[in-house]
Chains A and B, each alone.
Chain A
Amino acid sequence: MHKDVTDRRATQSPQRRSRFVWTPYLFIALPVIYSLVFSGYPLLKGLQLSLTNAKLLNPNGGRFIGADNYVELLGNPATWASIGVTVFYTLLVVVASTLLGLASALLINESFFGRVVVRAMLTVPWAVPTVAVALVFIWMFNDGSGILNTFTQALGLGRFGWLTNPDVALFSVTLATLWKVTPFVMLVLLAALQSVPAELIEAAKVDGASPLRTFRVVTVPAIMPTVRVVVLLMTIWSFRRFEIIWLLTGGGPVNATNTMVISVYRTAFNNNELGLASALGMIGVVMSLAVTVIYAFVDRRGESR
């Protein structure tokens, strides 16, 4: 807990203690207003649009139609299919990235020859722009000439329609996502692992605990807070994730990868339905909020234990 710059002044000159310090507000005003304008205002405008029948070509000329958009969306099985795809994709990505990230972090936690190089290479997925990632994965997934099919065929597994087969497409998209995202999870969990107090591990070893038991009893509780934050972040980010899915499949084939954000974009810019798209977006925001609330609840329960 660091001291506050205004603390000393308050104790040294009592008559100034009640003076209102306006400096912080001055500093923070512009950034906060900026944030509000670009996230708060669009949110409100999105809410407003969702209650109209606005079209893309005339964004501000929609007529107020109340909750009609919501009724139409919630009665449409396509909406629920989209919610399903979103939930499934999120589950896949969160579980896989956390497990893989943890496993890899454990792997490189101890030093070994070439560790620096390995760490450097693990930064690459994070750094490469999503457009480039999508381009190369589309090419690797290519039915005819892609390296992945060449590989699976050589292994005797046959060829796959990675992005063309509706049953496989979501897994392919998840694979590309995992490639991009897991290194970040790994680096964060690695930092957490490395801040587990060495004395605790030593004490467990002295008490004769096996490595597995040490892991369960000492390491896991110590990194749990970080794991929880990582899970929350990955969940929210999976709900949001647009570019990689859009570029790989555009939501297809046959809506196999049509997550909610993809659906929002298509409804707005392909179907020209701005109002409807905004309503769908609002439903998505509510879902994200629900997740955050549930998380905060679970987190508090966990801490009080």
Chain B
Amino acid sequence: MKGRRRLTRTLRGLGALAMALAAFFPFYWIINTSMTPTDKLYSGQQTVWLDLSRAQYAFQILVADSPFLRWLTNSAVVATGTTILGVLLALLAAYALSRYRFSGKGAFSFVFFSSQMLPEALIVVPLYATFVSLRLLDQHAGLVLANTAFAMPVAVWILKAAIDGVPVEIEESARVDGCGPLRSLHHIILPVIAPSLAAAAVIAFFDAWNEYLFATTFIRTKDLWVASTGLASFQGEYQTPLDLVFSGAFIFALPAVVFFLLVQKRIVSGLTAGSVKG
């Protein structure tokens, strides 16, 4: 009986290992490709194991010769703007949805989450027309505005669940002392929900960081491109220096991977808080 238990456990461990490898392999392949010289890549000589002999070469060229650094900076600017604006607005909305009963509450929630249903490819067409008239094309600010609209609902979801978990009594006693809602939000709620706030910020940031469609449609000038547009511009060209492109892809992907690893538990618990209770 014990032996059977151990067999199941081993099989389970092996199955999980296979899954983990399948999940990790493409990311590993990005690293591998970035370290293999281009001529080797195109002649089918890429090895499964890492060839570390010329590892830094591609990275050096990438940083020195291409506009890649500028694109990364643009991405960071847009993502930061989206995070600040998005989380701020989401905080206000989440507080209202969590702490108050008011008519129209359901309708307001619906407005937020319906935006998650609409295809970006549909929204981008009229938004493009609007941005043309507002002269917001080729402006990072325009991109921030567009991204925030879509990053906000998920942040609202996470923050509302977090605020729900803070006992109302704490605020009530502060209310008796004359503390208004804004101050209690600032001094009482914020410190307590700090981890969820961080998780919401990370999601909003990388939502904008990873974003491709709006960025490519609204920002036309090469100098103003964000990293996702810049990287995507390389695909399909024949003489593409693949090791360079993949070095860029790795640098682009790494922050997202690191931060998501740090906050993943909180995100999943925030997202499932509503549906699992059901």
Residues 272-300 (chain A) with a chain B CB within 8 angstroms: 274, 277-278, 281-282, 284-285, 288, 292
Main SS class of interface, B? helix
Residue contact B16 to A112, C-beta cutoff 8 Å: yes
Contact of A74 with B by CB under 8 A: no
A-B contact pairs, 11 of them (CB 8 A): A27-B95, A27-B181, A39-B114, A43-B118, A112-B9, A120-B261, A129-B252, A135-B249, A145-B42, A179-B26, A281-B119
**Given A4-B99, A39-B118, A129-B252, are A31 and B90 also a contact pair (CB < 8 Å)?**
yes
The distance in angstroms between the C-alpha atoms of A54 and B250, with both chains bound, is 41
Contact of A137 with B by CB under 8 A: yes
Residues 97-150 (chain B) with a chain A CB within 8 angstroms: 97-102, 105, 108, 111-112, 114-130, 132-133, 145-146, 148-150
Contact of A243 with B by CB under 8 A: yes
Residue contact A242 to B112, C-beta cutoff 8 Å: no
Other CB < 8 Å A-B pairs besides A28-B92, A264-B121, 4 of them?
A: A34-B148, A131-B252, A135-B246, A140-B29
Residue contact A112 to B13, C-beta cutoff 8 Å: yes
Bin the interface of chain A by size: 35 or more
Question: Which chain A residues border B209 with CB–CB below 8 Å?
Answer: 129
Residue contact A226 to B19, C-beta cutoff 8 Å: no
Residue contact A242 to B120, C-beta cutoff 8 Å: yes
Which of the segments B52-60, B62-70, B193-201, B265-273 contacts the partner chain? B265-273
Residues 26-40 (chain A) with a chain B CB within 8 angstroms: 27-28, 30-32, 34-40
**Given A30-B89, A46-B125, are A35 and B120 also a contact pair (CB < 8 Å)?**
no
Contact of B7 with A by CB under 8 A: no
Contact of B41 with A by CB under 8 A: yes
Binary CB contact string for chain A from 223 to 263 against chain B (1 if under 8 A, 0 otherwise): 00110010000001001101100110000000000000110
* Pick from B20, B153, B278: contact of A118, CB under 8 Å: B20
Residue contact B13 to A114, C-beta cutoff 8 Å: yes
Residue contact B92 to A30, C-beta cutoff 8 Å: yes
Residue contact A114 to B17, C-beta cutoff 8 Å: yes
